[in-house]
């Protein structure tokens, strides 16, 4: 069955969504004005990392909303609906993502980023690994291709839902989504994105609570509901529908490896001081536990109400239409939009900073400064948004392929070079580039079923093992990293400038 919505309900949904969009436009215009006042020579620093002055709520939501994405409202509950409690249980593995990201890399990245003035995630790798070309080029390409494809998929999902819930054409929804994000990301930079994220995070949380209360009242006593799901198929309410080995490997990818995703690590580059970082961990844990637990579990509970949905990803929107008055259902649509736009906004900043800092400034025009760099920043961010919009209008078939490999591919490429670079002095550029390339290739071969090497686990496990072994062996077989780099990343004394 699909979603059926009356005209008056549609109108209420459209009005609520319009109010949400207008508020976001206001945030975009406001942050653009703030950015216009920024001195030209500080523009890029403010644009990409907010002058490293971000407070705790912003950082907490940037990591949480950035990593949660459309999956939280659509894909996650959809899988809960179709695969059952084993999946909902897997969702618990991401509960402490803020703690994992900031606790494991937050402070060290914070100190080093200030020493080397890193403005992008890749800047860290480029410096630590002695401006190695393989790392620079593989890094730039994989971030642009994988994150770009991921952003397109998020837009497509959001615009399709908009079409279903409002009855307006697909391109209208897509244009609204893209325009809003363009305004606050391309002109407001990280400040626009982060201000929007705070608002979106609050809307998402309000939507989640409204849904939870509405659903519990509608479903009634829980035990009979769960028993009835178990009668459809016992696999839906037992963890044993997945082997322990497979479940554990999913925990590794969601819980642990997430820290290496560029849009998650943004928080570590932008927070103000350790006090706000600690608060960001606590706030983030609370938000993520509420979002993932309630939403994914509700996706599962929808099975008791509607046993045969045509599109499982519509579990949450359908639930909203059923148990909430239309204007509150409109808030749910706004919440979904918020989850998508916040992820997309953060990713566009990552893609743009990668392009401007690690491609343009490194390979094309190293001398670019001040006004010119500001112009390049604005133009490239607008072009990125436009390209994403055009691709989403008519999604290419290669997109599905890119999506499958995004999270696993990026994580297998960056995880060990990041962790070992931060905490192992002996890691060098030869080891890191070998580990990066071998990790990504192994992942593509295993996840694409070209080679049967996954051993009943998520393919990320084997690619992480391969990447770790190769990185360690190659590092040990080649000379140490240059002394100046190791001093910067580990020493108390470090070279502020390199003389002749």
Both structure tokens of 206: 């309000």
Left if phi > 0, otherwise alpha if psi is -120 to 50, otherwise beta: which for 73? alpha
Q: Which is nearer to another protein, 161 or 301 (CB)?
A: 301
Query: Interface with another protein includes 354 (CB under 8 A)?
Result: no
Select the span of 277-285, 388-396, 401-409, 459-467 touching another protein (CB under 8 A).
277-285
**Count of residues engaged in binding another protein, rule: CB under 8 A:** 67
Taking residue 364's Cβ as centre, other Cβ atoms within 10 Å add up to: 11
Q: Which residue has the tokens 């322990």?
A: 244
Select the span of 17-25, 271-279, 343-351, 445-453 touching another protein (CB under 8 A).
271-279
Q: Residue 54 pairs with which residues in a beta bridge?
A: 271
What is the rounded distance in angstroms from the CA atom of residue 195 to the CA atom of residue 191?
6
Task: Please compute Rg for the chain using Cα positions.
Answer: 23
Select the span of 19-27, 356-364, 375-383, 482-490 touching another protein (CB under 8 A).
482-490
Query: Interface with another protein includes 270 (CB under 8 A)?
Result: no
Both structure tokens of 460: 């990320």
Both structure tokens of 139: 């890094």
Stretch 59-98: interaction string toward another protein, x if CB under 8 A: --------------------------x---x--xx-xx--
Q: Which is nearer to another protein, 114 or 375 (CB)?
A: 114
Stretch 104-143: interaction string toward another protein, x if CB under 8 A: xx-xx-xx--xx----------------------------
Query: Interface with another protein includes 456 (CB under 8 A)?
Result: no
Q: Which is nearer to another protein, 170 or 494 (CB)?
A: 494
Taking residue 400's Cβ as centre, other Cβ atoms within 10 Å add up to: 11
Query: Interface with another protein includes 387 (CB under 8 A)?
Result: no
Q: Which is nearer to another protein, 106 or 317 (CB)?
A: 106
Listed in sequence order, the DSSP H helices in 314-458 are 315-323, 326-353, 370-393, 398-423, 429-447
Query: Interface with another protein includes 55 (CB under 8 A)?
Result: no
Shortest Å distance, C-beta 384 to another protein: 30
CB of 414 within 8 A of CB of 138?
no
What is the rounded distance in angstroms from the CA atom of residue 253 to the CA atom of residue 232?
30
Q: Which is nearer to another protein, 29 or 225 (CB)?
A: 225
Q: Pick from 9, 289, 437, 441 the residue near another protein by CB under 8 A.
A: 289
- Give the three-state DSSP class for 54: strand
CA 196-201-207 angle, to 5 degrees, is: 125
The distance between the two most distant Cα atoms of the chain, rounded to a whole number of Å, is 77
104, 106, 126: which is closest to 116 by C-alpha?
126
Shortest Å distance, C-beta 236 to another protein: 9
Per CB under 8 A, which of residues 388..427 are in contact with another protein?
422-423, 425-426
Query: Interface with another protein includes 234 (CB under 8 A)?
Result: yes
Query: Interface with another protein includes 281 (CB under 8 A)?
Result: yes
Q: Residue 271 pairs with which residues in a beta bridge?
A: 54
Q: Which is nearer to another protein, 137 or 248 (CB)?
A: 248
Q: Which is nearer to another protein, 238 or 372 (CB)?
A: 238
Which DSSP symbol is given to 271? B
Q: Which is nearer to another protein, 181 or 457 (CB)?
A: 457
Left if phi > 0, otherwise alpha if psi is -120 to 50, otherwise beta: which for 425? alpha
Query: Interface with another protein includes 100 (CB under 8 A)?
Result: yes
Both structure tokens of 4: 């059926």
Shortest Å distance, C-beta 55 to another protein: 15
Q: Pick from 55, 75, 239, 307 the residue near another protein by CB under 8 A.
A: 239
What is the rounded distance in angstroms from the CA atom of residue 118 to the CA atom of residue 358?
11
Taking residue 319's Cβ as centre, other Cβ atoms within 10 Å add up to: 26
φ/ψ of residue 428, rounded to 5: -130, 180
Shortest Å distance, C-beta 251 to another protein: 5
What is the rounded distance in angstroms from the CA atom of residue 19 to the CA atom of residue 9?
16
Shortest Å distance, C-beta 480 to another protein: 5
User: What does the binding site for another protein look like in residue numbers (CB under 8 A)?
Assistant: 85, 89, 92-93, 95-96, 99-100, 103-105, 107-108, 110-111, 114-115, 221-223, 226, 230, 234, 237-240, 244, 247-248, 251, 255-256, 273-275, 278, 281-282, 285-286, 289, 293, 422-423, 425-426, 479-487, 490-500
């Amino acid at each position: 069955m699909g979603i059926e919505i009356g005209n008056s309900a549609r109108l209420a949904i459209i009005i609520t969504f319009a109010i949400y969009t207008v508020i976001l436009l206001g945030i975009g215009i406001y942050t653009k004005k703030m950015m216009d006042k920024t001195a030209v020579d500080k523009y890029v620093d403010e644009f990409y990392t907010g002058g490293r002055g971000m407070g705790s709520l912003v950082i907490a939501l940037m990591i949480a909303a950035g990593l949660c994405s459309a999956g939280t409202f659509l894909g996650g509950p959809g899988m809960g609906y179709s695969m059952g409690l084993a999946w909902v249980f897997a969702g618990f593995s991401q509960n402490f993502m803020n703690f994992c990201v900031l606790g494991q890399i937050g402070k060290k990245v914070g100190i080093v980023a200030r020493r080397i003035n890193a403005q992008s995630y890749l800047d860290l790798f480029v410096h630590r690994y002695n401006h190695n070309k393989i790392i620079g080029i593989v890094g730039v390409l994989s971030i642009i291709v994988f994150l770009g494809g991921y952003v397109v998929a998020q837009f497509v999902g959001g615009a399709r839902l908009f079409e279903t819930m409002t009855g307006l054409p697909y391109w209208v929804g897509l244009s609204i989504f893209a325009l809003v994000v363009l305004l606050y990301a391309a002109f407001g930079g990280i400040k626009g994105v982060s201000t929007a994220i705070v608002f979106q995070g609050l809307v998402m949380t309000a939507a989640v609570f409204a849904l939870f209360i509405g659903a519990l009242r509608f479903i009634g006593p829980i035990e009979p509901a769960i028993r009835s799901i178990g009668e459809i198929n016992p696999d839906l309410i037992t963890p044993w529908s997945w082997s322990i080995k497979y479940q554990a490997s999913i925990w590794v990818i969601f819980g642990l490896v997430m820290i290496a995703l560029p849009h998650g690590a943004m928080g570590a580059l932008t927070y103000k001081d350790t006090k706000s970082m600690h608060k960001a961990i606590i706030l983030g844990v609370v938000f993520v536990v509420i979002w993932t637990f309630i939403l994914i579990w509700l996706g599962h509970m929808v099975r008791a109400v509607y046993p045969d949905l045509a599109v499982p990803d519509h579990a949450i929107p359908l639930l909203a239409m059923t148990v909430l008055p239309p204007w509150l259902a409109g808030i749910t649509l706004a919440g979904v939009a918020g989850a998508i736009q916040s992820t997309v906004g953060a990713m566009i900043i990552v893609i743009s900073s990668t392009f401007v800092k690690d491609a343009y400034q490194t390979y094309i025009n190293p001398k670019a400064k001040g006004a010119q760099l500001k112009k390049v920043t604005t133009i490239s961010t607008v072009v990125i948004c436009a390209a994403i919009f055009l691709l989403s209008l008519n999604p290419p078939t290669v997109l599905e392929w890119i999506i499958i490999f995004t999270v696993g591919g990026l994580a297998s490429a960056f995880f060990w070079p990041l962790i070992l670079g931060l905490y192992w002095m002996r890691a060098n550029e030869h080891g890191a580039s070998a580990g990066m390339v071998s990790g990504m290739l192994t992942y593509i071969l295993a996840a694409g079923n070209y080679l049967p090497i996954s051993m009943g686990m998520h393919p990320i496990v084997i690619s992480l093992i391969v990447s770790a072994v190769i990185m360690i062996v190659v590092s040990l077989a080649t000379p140490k990293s240059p002394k100046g780099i190791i001093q910067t990343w580990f020493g108390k004394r470090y070279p502020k400038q390199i003389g002749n």
